[in-house]
């Protein structure tokens, strides 16, 4: 795996411009901080660029997606502002093999709910403390991550989280209020690998924390797949008797 991974970090970039408290933490936008974290851990094995909601086509043109191996997604108050045709396009790229890392409130994006087929709703509350537990210590996304770590200030995300059972569950979180959450979830959809990671509220400096950065960097590597032919399309394939013996 010596390929260079081409990452696009997508940020809604609304809170940071509307809310002084958020801007104080992420003056260049959360997407910039997330991109820095990925570069910090993956160095020359990645090239990272960013894209945001207000750009033409939300910065996710055909060209950008065609040259993106891994997309990360953070959105919240602007989910409904993402154009359906862009969601179609990104959804199609994920099924074709582009890796996807969905962060925090991205659980409720059009993209993630379409990939999951469920509501992806959950419980929430501001002002808590999150304790993150590694429950799949041999998983590549857990490499270098301690058995348990604390995020001192976090929004509570609690069960019931309305997602399909993850293909692999890597992290569980608990909160002061006694809630639990499946905070690190792996899914495979089509040829695409997806990692959902719940830490990351906009009013706390979560994306500066080393353990969080490492997990996101590990996830970028885990969801990555080298470009490959598309298996499944929107057309079913008629296959005459003996087709594969003739092809072989």
Site for a second copy in 164-193 (CB under 8 A): 164-165, 167-169, 172-174, 176-180, 182, 187-193
Which one of 63, 85, 226, 246 is in contact with a second copy (CB under 8 A)? 226
**Entry field: residues in the chain:** 248
Q: Which is nearer to a second copy, 47 or 225 (CB)?
A: 225
Residue 116: closest CA among 194, 15, 172, 173? 194
Cis check for the bond before 155: say yes or no (omega within 30 of 0).
no
Closest separation between CB of residue 168 and a second copy, Å?
7
Give the whole-angstrom CA distance, residue 72 versus residue 106: 10
Considering only the stretches 14-22, 49-57, 76-84, 219-227, report the one whose residues sit in contact with a second copy under the rule CB under 8 A. 219-227
The end-to-end CA distance of the chain, in Å, is: 28
Calculate the alpha carbon distances from 130 to 102, 126, 137, 226 in Å: 18, 11, 19, 34
Least separation in angstroms between CB 18 and a second copy: 20
| Residue span binding a second copy (CB under 8 A) among the ranges 8-16, 33-41, 53-61, 163-171 | 163-171
In SS3 terms, 136-179 reads as CCCCHHHCCCCCEEEEEEEEEEECCCCCCCCCEEEEEEEECCCC
Task: Determine if residue 59 is left, alpha or beta; phi over 0 gives left, psi from -120 to 50 gives alpha, anything else beta.
Answer: left
Q: State the DSSP code for 118.
A: S
Measured from the CB atom, the residue of 40 and 162 that comes closer to a second copy is 162
Number of residues that bind a second copy (CB under 8 A): 78
- Selected from 133, 153, 203, 205, the binder of a second copy by CB under 8 A is 133
Which is nearer to a second copy, 20 or 236 (by Cβ)?
A: 236
Radius of gyration for the chain, computed over Cα atoms and rounded to the nearest angstrom: 18
Contact between 89 and a second copy by CB under 8 A: the answer reads no
- Which of 16/179 has CB closer to a second copy? 179
Q: For residues 229-248, which are near a second copy according to CB under 8 A? A: 231-245, 248
Closer Cβ to a second copy, 29 or 75, answer by number: 75
Identify the three-state secondary structure at position 49: strand
Pick the closer one to a second copy by CB: 50 or 82: 82
Among 115, 185, 212, 219, binds a second copy (CB under 8 A): 115
């Amino acid at each position: 795996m010596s390929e260079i991974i081409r990452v696009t970090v997508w940020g809604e970039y609304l809170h940071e411009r509307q809310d002084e408290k958020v801007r104080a933490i992420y003056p260049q936008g959360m997407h910039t901080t997330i991109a820095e974290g990925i570069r910090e851990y993956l160095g020359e094995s990645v090239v990272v660029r960013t894209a945001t909601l207000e750009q033409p086509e939300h910065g996710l043109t055909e060209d950008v997606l065609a040259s993106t191996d891994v997309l990360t997604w953070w959105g919240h108050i602007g989910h409904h502002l993402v154009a359906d045709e862009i969601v179609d396009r990104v959804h199609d790229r994920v099924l074709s093999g582009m890796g996807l890392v969905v962060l925090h409130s991205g659980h409720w994006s059009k993209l993630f709910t379409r990939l999951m087929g469920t509501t992806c709703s959950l419980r929430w509350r501001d002002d808590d403390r999150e304790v993150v537990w590694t429950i799949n210590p041999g998983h590549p996304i857990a490499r270098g991550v301690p058995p348990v770590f604390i995020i001192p200030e976090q929004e509570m995300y609690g069960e019931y989280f309305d997602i399909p059972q993850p293909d692999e569950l890597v992290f569980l979180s608990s909160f002061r209020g006694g809630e639990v959450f499946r905070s690190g979830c792996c899914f495979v959809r089509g040829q695409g690998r997806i990692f959902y990671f719940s830490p990351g509220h906009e009013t706390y400096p979560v994306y500066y924390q080393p353990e969080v950065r490492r997990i996101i960097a590990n996830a970028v590597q885990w969801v990555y797949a080298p470009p490959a032919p598309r298996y499944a399309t929107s057309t079913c394939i008629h296959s005459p008797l003996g087709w594969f013996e003739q092809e072989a």
